[in-house]
Structures are given as structure tokens and as C-alpha cells.
Amino acid sequence: MTDTLNTKELKRFAAVNRSVKKVDGVALVTGQPVYTDDFDVPGALHVKLVRSPHAHAIIKEIDVSRALKIPGVVTILTYKDLPRIPFTRAGQGYPEPSPYDTFVLDRKVRYVGDPVAIVAAETEKAARLGAKAVKVEYEVLDAVLDFEQATNEDAPIIHDEPEAIGIHDASKNIAAHFEMEIGNIDEALESCDKVITRTYHTKTQLHAMMEPHASISYFDPNGRLTVITSTQVPFHARRILSRIFNIPIGDIRVIKPRIGGGFGGKQAVHLEPYVVAVTLKTKRPARLVFDRSEVSMSTNIRHEMKYTVTVGATSDGKIKVIDMKGLSNTGAYGEHALTTFMVSGSKTLPIYNKVEAVRFSGDVVYTNLPSAGAYRGYGAPQGLFALDCTIDELAHELGFDPLVVKEKNSIREGESSPIFRIMGEGREGVDQIVRSCKLQECIDKGKEAIGWSEKRGKVARRGNKVRGIGCAIAMQGSGIAKIDMGAATIKMNEDGSFNLLLGATDLGTGSDTIMAQIAAEVLEVDYDKIKVYSSDTDMTPFDTGAYASSTTYVSGNAVRKAAEMVKERILEKAAVYLEEPVENLRVKNAKVVSLNTDREVTYEELCTKLFYTFEQEQIAATASYVGEESPPPFLASFAEVEVDLETGKIELVKFVSYADCGTPLNPVQALGQLEGATVQGIGWALFEDVIYGKDGRMLTNDFFTYKIPTRMDYGKLECGFVDSYEPTGPFGAKSIAEIGIDTPIPAIANAIYDATGVRLRKAPFNSEELFFEILKKEV
């Protein structure tokens, strides 16, 4: 589906490119029971998990006898009671590129917090007491807590189970490996006037979404298993549960209610297997809600990554070669291991598409730490931090304004990159051309807003405090080409309204609202005439889920396609009813009108006639869409920082981001996504530091110990858009939800250098480290 509408025609839109209220807004702000934990299923057992206190151990014995005597405890399940079927928790398209290295429960535990037993009781208190009463005897093993030591010859093997499938090299703790090379690296390096090599390191990050993970399971009156759960991927969850418990997919129904944030942290099955195991055992409903510490340590975190980057250029600033070698920490299990690593290259390298040679390689390794997984940006922020800052360093060594070098070498509209095809997600990508790109305009607006020309390289000092500015540019994607699929069903009602059934999952992003706007635009009705029901594997068509910035582009195109089919059918029926040729008719303001006569019929009248007296047909359509491309949004970001030279304290004075996301279909919601992602990136750069004890226990597992930024923790935030028109997107739209998190770390790092002359190459940035680096520089 390619649209040739020009950007000048945007004013013609009636329903999209408008900031309308969210379809679920009233229910959310009035506290209606819309989240998973709000559902009260009579007779549900409360589930709690017994967790390992050791980072690496073998279970020698489990004694549940004392726990079973506690009043209210109904059943306790251990690895002996459950099928030993390997799977991946990752909610990805089938066949998944992640290894099958996980069991519901296993005799071996691989991180502090790994589940050991499932306790189900009549009350939450009884379940909690029962979990405490389970006695477990362990054989403690040596653990790998430093991912740079995971492949050492003397490192303990974390996954030695024979049933595991798809691990790259279990004997060396390598979950995944990837390498690719274009051109001749050595020859390109020899032709460069300047070559630098730098190493950059990003630590992990917690999702810190508002709503903890929650799941409920029960048998419906017909004996079918129903799971209500806070998931980004209901259809993937159904498939994974089918595999684990050998239940036909058709006998499982997964329902996603409202979600209080996901950011990738709910793109996996975390609780569902435990409640389902209890329901299968007891034939009773079961519910499990994680507390904040469980969310932090036992769902997923961001992949810690370390990159060594070599960049070579000519004396005039033309980049000729990029070589990135990385190491990623997947933790105890390998969900999303390969794909996040590949994205850290595939969403960063193409922006510098004029190089003669490029190489990307590295390993993703297991450690005895909590599992990493999907997180907003999905590897791109880690790769961009290393690449953008290395190019910034190169520019300074060549004597150039870093922004000039980035502008000179960046991709432009109508261009392509071989990376698009070579690096997909877990497999080859696709050849594609950048059909819409306003990166230069984003740069220009950001430069003006931050005062780039006036401030760069001119350190502003006031007493012991100095200020500097920095920049970063980024690109992302819009879904995974030839993998992500969305579908939509639209049916017409006799009052002229429409039901829109979606498999797409709204995580609080407002995607249900945007889908309603797309349908309304095609059908020429007010958007509140579109009644949305989403994310129910029985009642809505298939959708791969909310991840990879896919919903607006992929699911939105499916909605537009279905709406066009419904509109076509409306016109066909109206032609018979009005006795007019179909080519003489148009839809307008919930009516079908003739272009040649004064004849018209309202949707309400037409549908009522169709239901009861005239031809008696339900007008409905289902359409699917698979992206043939993944059109990238673009972003230019600028940071101004103030550093206290006596303490190393870093304050963010101002942060500016301008994005090209095509047509913002709902500008206020799009701005919320850009601002939210930006603040998450600011938090990761300056505040959010995951700390482990020497035993591998996470010490920062709640909001008392893990600092996320409030509005008081950063200065002025200016975010905005430069409109373009993506011809393959629904009404010109591309993605926006992820890209904002990519740039804060490199932009802030570059600003710190501009202020102090010190390069911080490990994020989050530590004031103490900066203070001592400043001292070294002065000496």
C-alpha cells in the first residue's frame, strides 16, 4: 500500500492529524476496573512463588510438607510436577530467534530470584506464608556475575541442559553470535587520514512501568482455558502456553485488558505459566500479581552492552569505515538475545550510509543475573551511544564541529543502505529506500532551539560551574519488515456506527484511539462512531503484538485496508438502493451522496434497511497487513548541561528533540510518546543505576533504591515534530514510540565533554567518576 498524497494536502484530513481524546480516557481517570488486577474471578486461588536465594545452584531436595499444613494452602508445585518442555519466554514471531532455554520450573536455578516452587492458597496471606515455609536444600555452584568473564575457560557453564534448543555455544556461555562485513575493512582503514578506536559501555535499566505484571487463569463453562493477563503479545502468549502444556491453541483464550505501561517488559510470558499450572492442577481459577521487587528482578531488564568502535575518515570529515565489536549480557536466559544485539547495529549503522566498509560483530553471553529482554529502543540506544560518541570524538580530533560531520555523512531521502537487507531481526532484512526523511530539518530546528552556533565550544562558566552542549542524531524503524502482521475487522451497525476489532495491543499509548481515527478518516464519520475492542484471541483477529514500533504502521495499515473494503461495500449497496451507478457516489459525513443528483442515504438508514428489509446483509470486512518495509523515523537531539567542577554533579539544563515521524496521526499522543521516551533516556543517562551485591542479588529492586527522574530532576524539555509524509504508512505515518530514548545518553555525554573536556564512556554517568576525571585532567 503506497500513498502518493503530498504533504501540502495534510489539511484535507478530517479525523487523523487531530488531537482527539483517548477512547478509554474517561474510564482510566475515573478509576474504573480496567486493569488485570481489577478483575475479580470468584474462587480464585492466590499464587506466590518460592525463589532462589542463590545465583547458581542445583536443588538437592524440596520439602513442602510443612507448607502444606498451613491453613489455606491448597497445592504446591515443583519441577517434579511440571512438564519438562523447553521454551522461550520471548513474545516474538514464530519460529522465534531466541533459544528455547527455559522451563516453567527447573532443578537448576540460574539467578537470585529464579522460581523454585509455585504455592497456591485460598488467601494471599496463606500463599505468602506457604512460600516461606517451603524448605529447599541447594548445592551452590560458582556463578558468573561479570559478563566480560562469561566466556573464560574456567567460567561455570550456565546452560548444560540437553533439552535446550538454539543456544549458539552453551560450553562457552554464548547464547547468540552475529557478524557481518561489507567492503574491505583493512583497505578502507589504510585510505583514511584519521582512525580512532573507542570503547563505550551501557549498563542495564529497569522498565519501571506503573502497573506490575498480573495474570489470572480459569476454565470457562465449556472447559476452555482463559487467561486474563497484562501482556503486549496475547497471540504469542497463547502459542507459548500451548507449547508448554500441550494444549491445542484453539482451547486457549488470552485476553489483555488495559495495561499501565509495558516498554517491552510485557513482551514475554512471565506469570502466565504459573497460574495456568495451578489451574490445570486444581481445576480452579488462579491469580498472581508481582510486587515491585519481583517485577524488577524476575521479569526482564535491558541488555547491558559494551562496544569497541573503530571509525576512520578523510581529513575533510568523510567517514569511510565503521567497525563495531560488541558484547551483550542476556543474563540467565536468552530471550531477545540475538535480536536486541542485531538491532543495536541495524538501527544505528544505516544512518551513516556513505561508508566504503562496515563491520559489525559480537557475542551475547549468559550470566547468573536477571534475564534481559525487550526494552524500548531494543538495543538501538546502546549501539548509538557507542557510535555517535565515537564519531563526536573523531570530529573533534579532525577539528570539525561534530554536527557538521554527522550532517555530511548521514542518510538522505531517496537513499538506501545495504544494512537494511543484511541485518534484520534474527534473520536477513529487506532492501528498502528511505522514502521520507526530514532529518536535516530536525537538526536545523534543534540547533536553533539550543543555540548551537552561539554556545558550542564556548564554555560558559559561573563560579565553579560550567556549561556545555552536545548533540546526537538517530533513526529507528516501523515494525519488522516481512515479520510483523496486523489484522482488523470492521462491521457496520444499524445506527451508522462501526465496531472495530483489533488484535493490536494498547499499552497506554493510545493506539486504540489512533486506530479509531484511521477508520473514521476512511469512512467519513466522527471518530467516536468507531467502537474499539482489542486484544482478545477469541474475538479479535491476529496481531503479532505491540513491539518494534509497529502498531501505528502495521496495524494502522490493516485498519485502513479494512475500512476501505467496508467503504467499497457501502458504496456498492448504496448504488443499488439509490439506483445510481457506483462511480457517481461518494461517502461524506456518514452518508452516501450522489455527485450528479440530490439523492443520498445516511449510514443509519442504509444499514437498517440492509439488516431488516433490503437484501439483508451484514457489511463487514477483515483485512491483514504485513510491512514490506520498515520506514525509519528520524530524530535530532541536543543537550545543555551544567557541571559543578568541585563535586562532579551533572544537571541537565535543557534538552531538545525534534522528530520526523511522518504524519503525527494524533499530535498530542505522539508528543507524549516522544517526551516520555526522552525522559526515560534522561533517567538512564543520569539516575537509573542497577546495582548488584557480590552474591548477585539485585540491590536496587524498588523505587526507594532505584531512582527514576521526576519533573524536578531535569530542566527545560522541548520536543516537537517536522512533518514528512511516508507514502507506505497509513495517511503518511511512521513510528514515534521508541526513537526518543536513543539520543539522551550520547547527547548528554557529548555535552559533558563540551563543558569539561572529559569523556564519560560508561552510562549511567556517575558524578564521582566525573569529579575524579576532572581532577586527572587538571593535573
CATH code, domain carrying 198: 3.30.365.10
Distance between CA atoms of 518 and 472, rounded to whole angstroms? 33
Rounded to the nearest 10°, the torsion over CA 526, 531, 537, 543 is 10
Q: Residue 475 in contact with residue 739, Cβ under 8 Å?
A: yes
pLDDT at 425: 86
Strand 45-51 vs strand 73-77: parallel, antiparallel, or unpaired?
unpaired
Residue 403: per-residue pLDDT = 98
H/E stretch holding 286 reads strand 286-289
**Pair (256, 198) in one structural domain:** no
User: Can you read off the three cell numbers belonging to residue 534?
Assistant: 482489542
Report the pLDDT value the prediction gives residue 777, as an integer from 0 to 100: 84
Alpha carbon 9 to chain centroid, angstroms: 32
Is the backbone of residue 122 left (phi > 0), alpha (psi -120 to 50) or beta?
Answer: alpha
The residue type found at 442 is: C
Calpha distance 431→212 (Å, rounded):
40
Buried b (16+ CB within 10 A) or exposed e, 473-498: bbbbbbbbbbbbbbbbbbbbbeebbb
- The pLDDT score that the predictor gives to residue 391 is 99
For the chain, the distance separating the N- and C-terminal CA atoms, rounded to the nearest angstrom, is 62
List, as one string, the DSSP characters of 143-179.
----GGGTTSTTSPPS---TT-BS-SBGGGTEEEEEE
Residue 15 lies in a domain: yes
Instruction: Mark residue 508 as left, alpha or beta (left: phi above 0; alpha: psi -120 to 50; beta: remaining).
Output: left
561/679 same-domain check: no
Cell of 619: 457489511
Question: Given the DSSP bridges, would you call strands 194-202 and 304-313 parallel, antiparallel or unpaired?
Answer: antiparallel
Task: Spell out the SS3 assignment of 342-392.
Answer: HHHHHCCHHHCCCCCEEEEEEEEEECCCCCECCCCCCCHHHHHHHHHHHHH
Mean pLDDT, contiguous 10-residue spans, the chain (779 residues): 47 88 90 92 98 99 98 99 97 96 99 99 99 99 99 98 98 98 97 98 98 98 98 98 98 96 97 99 98 97 99 98 99 98 98 98 99 98 99 98 98 97 88 97 98 92 95 97 96 97 94 97 96 97 93 97 98 96 96 95 97 94 96 98 97 98 97 98 98 98 96 96 97 97 99 98 97 87
197 with 344, same domain?
yes
Residue showing cell 448504488: 575
β-pairing verdict for 762-763 and 716-721: unpaired
Nearest Cα to 353, choosing from 290, 268, 411? 411
Residue 190 is assigned to a structural domain of this protein: yes
Is there a single domain that holds both residue 388 and residue 529? no
Q: Which of 381, 334, 53 is nearest to 204 (CA)?
A: 381
Pairing of strands 225-229, 252-255: parallel
| Whole-number pLDDT of residue 8 | 45
Structural domain includes residue 398: yes
Burial class for 296, CB neighbours closer than 10 Å (0-12, 13-18, 19+): buried
Residue 324 lies in a domain: yes
* pLDDT given for residue 279 in this prediction: 99
> Considering only CA atoms, which of 754, 774, 776 is closest in space to residue 460?
754
pLDDT at 779: 58
**188 and 309: one domain?**
yes
Q: Phi and psi at residue 305, in whole multiples of 5°? A: -140, 150
Specify whether 130 is located in the same domain as 240: yes
Reduced to 3 states (helix: H, G, I; strand: E, B; else coil), residue 416 is: strand
Set of cell numbers at residue 300 = 526482564
> Are 97 and 229 contained in the same domain?
yes
Do 279 and 186 reside in the same domain of the chain?
no
Provide CB contacts within 8 A for 348, sequence distance 6+: 380, 383, 384, 387, 388, 474, 475
Give the 3-state secondary structure of 569-590: HHHHHHHHHHCCCHHHEEEECC
How far is the C-alpha of 750 from the C-alpha of 760, rounded, in Å? 9
User: What are the C-alpha distances in Å from 756 to residues 467, 650, 671?
Assistant: 8, 11, 32
DSSP state of 30: T
From residue 65, alpha-carbon distances to 27, 47, 70, 108, 133 in Å are 46, 18, 9, 21, 9
Cell numbers that stand for 17 in this block? 492529524
Coil, helix or strand at residue 33: coil
Is residue 479 situated within a structural domain? Answer: no
**Cβ neighbourhood burial of 115 (10 Å; 0-12, 13-18, 19+):** buried
Strand stretches in 597-678, DSSP E: 600-602, 620-626, 634-644, 650-660
Residue 667's domain comprises 438-472+633-779
- 78 and 201 in a single domain? The answer is no
- Regarding whether 777 and 650 lie in a shared domain, the answer is yes
The Cα-based distances of 249 to 21, 105, 240, 282, 537 in angstroms read 36, 22, 9, 21, 10
Q: Residue 9, SS3?
A: helix
Count how many domains the chain has.
Answer: 4
* Contact present, 484 and 454 (Cβ < 8 Å): no
For residues 203 and 499, what is the distance between their CA atoms, to the nearest angstrom?
45
Task: Decide if 2 is inside a domain.
Answer: no
| Torsion from C-alpha of 33, 36, 40, 41, nearest 10 degrees | 150
- 478 is a domain residue: no
**Cα–Cα distance for residue pair 666/7, rounded to 1 Å:** 16
Residues 409 and 332 in one domain: yes
In this structure, the answer to whether residues 128 and 170 fall within a common structural domain is: no
Check which CATH number belongs to the domain holding 275 and give it: 3.90.1170.50
Contact 674, 501 (CB under 8 A): no
Single out the residue in 298, 314, 342 at which a domain terminates.
Answer: 298
- Looking at 167-291, list the stretches that DSSP marks H as alpha helix, in order from N- to C-terminal side: 185-190, 234-245, 272-282
Task: Please name which of 134, 457, 193 lies closest in space to residue 317, comparing C-alpha atoms.
Answer: 193
Single residue among 263, 279, 298 that ends a domain in this structure:
298
Domain for residue 480, yes or no? no
Query: Of 593, 609, 626, at which residue does a domain stop?
Result: 626
